[in-house]
Amino acid sequence: MLEKLERTLKEAVESLKGITTEQDLHLWRSNNIGKKSVVTEAYAVLKDLSKEERPLVGKLANQVKQTLEKVYEEKKEELRKAALTESLQTEKLDVTLPGRAVQLGKLHPVTKTLRRIYKIFAEMGFQVYQTREVESDDYNFTFLNMPEHHPARDMWDTFYTKTEGVILRTHTSPGQVHAMREYHPEPIRVILPGMCYRYEQVNTRSEMQFNQVEGLAVGKDISFGDLKWVVSEFARRLFHPDVRTRFRASHFPFTEPSAEMDVECFVCNGKGCSVCKQTGWLEIMGCGMVHPNVLRYGGYDPEEFSGFAFGLGPERITMLLHRITDIRYFWRNDIRFLEQF
């Protein structure tokens, strides 16, 4: 057995020299140190050997095994290095080339406008109150003083769902009633931002889907003067500290009286240009004093409480701020457009 071990060691070390692939190395290992190798055989026969022979064979078997393990590891490392050198030479990878820059994302231009709007109203004590985009017919119309079959409903082209009475909201005004029902009889000062939907012909000025920011203040002794100050101050903070505003009488079913607020065109300073269509004024929002019926639907007694409301379109405002000529750019996902902001 001793001789056999000696011979195995010599032959194994010799044959290892000729090995150049990982596969052959693997085979070599199983032949020389594996289950069917001479070393393993030597351990197996130990128990049958004589007392004198046993320690000698045991010791040699250990030595052979250790030596073979060691040369195996060395060879393995040698092959790994050779493979690396080879791949570096043949694959010609230039590791000194600079990497590709990671592209940073940006906020959507309308999101930026929304955040400016939130900030301005937050400074004036208005909280953000979010309400649902899927509404009931009651909240979108009836509670806003537009009973069933009322012709005023025609002002909003509506997406109806297959579930009766469930629609996509056409404006953020239904949120007024949600807020009032939650807070009454406490005073309220909130803005209600979010997506609205209209079944409309899409063109440069209207989309089927757009944001609105609604505002609502309810309390005792709230007057039209409060409304004028808040929305004019908002315009000054958003556009320009000296920007002039004007109010035109208008009509909305849920406010009485109702008005539309214009700001002096900040592109031409009121002289008249293409942005303001030569009028010198830009229409910014609808507003008015909350109609007594709406207050009642919200749980407030109109004899005791009053309030104002307004609604504006962040896309339109973004278009004015950046002189964007087509509202459809916003949801087209064209990076060339979005990257500019």
Residue numbers at the binding site for ligand DAH (CB under 6 A) = 171, 173, 214, 252, 255, 286-288, 309-311
CB of 243 to ligand DAH, least distance (A): 20
* Cβ proximity to ligand DAH, 54 vs 296, nearer residue: 296
* Cβ proximity to ligand DAH, 49 vs 120, nearer residue: 120
Reduced 3-state DSSP string for the chain? CHHHHHHHHHHHHHHHHCCCCHHHHHHHHHHHCCCCCHHHHHHHHHHHCCCCHHHHHHHHHHHHHHHHHHHHHHHHHHHHHHHHHHHHHHHCCCCCCCCCCCCCCCCCHHHHHHHHHHHHHHHCCCEECCCCCEEEHHHHCHHHCCCCCCHHHHHCCCCECCCCCEEECCCCCHHHHHHHHHHCCCCEEEEEEEEEECCCCCCCCCCCEEEEEEEEEEECCCCHHHHHHHHHHHHHHHCCCCCCEEEEEEEECCEEEEEEEEEECCCCCCCCCCCCCCCCEEEEEEEEEECHHHHHHHCCCCCCCEEEEEEECHHHHHHHHHCCCCHHHHHCCCHHHHCCC
CB of 303 to ligand DAH, least distance (A): 21
CB of 104 to ligand DAH, least distance (A): 35
* Cβ proximity to ligand DAH, 288 vs 314, nearer residue: 288
- Closest residue (Cβ) to ligand DAH? 311
* Cβ proximity to ligand DAH, 193 vs 288, nearer residue: 288
CB of 314 to ligand DAH, least distance (A): 13
CB of 244 to ligand DAH, least distance (A): 21
CB of 260 to ligand DAH, least distance (A): 8
* Cβ proximity to ligand DAH, 239 vs 252, nearer residue: 252
* Cβ proximity to ligand DAH, 60 vs 213, nearer residue: 213
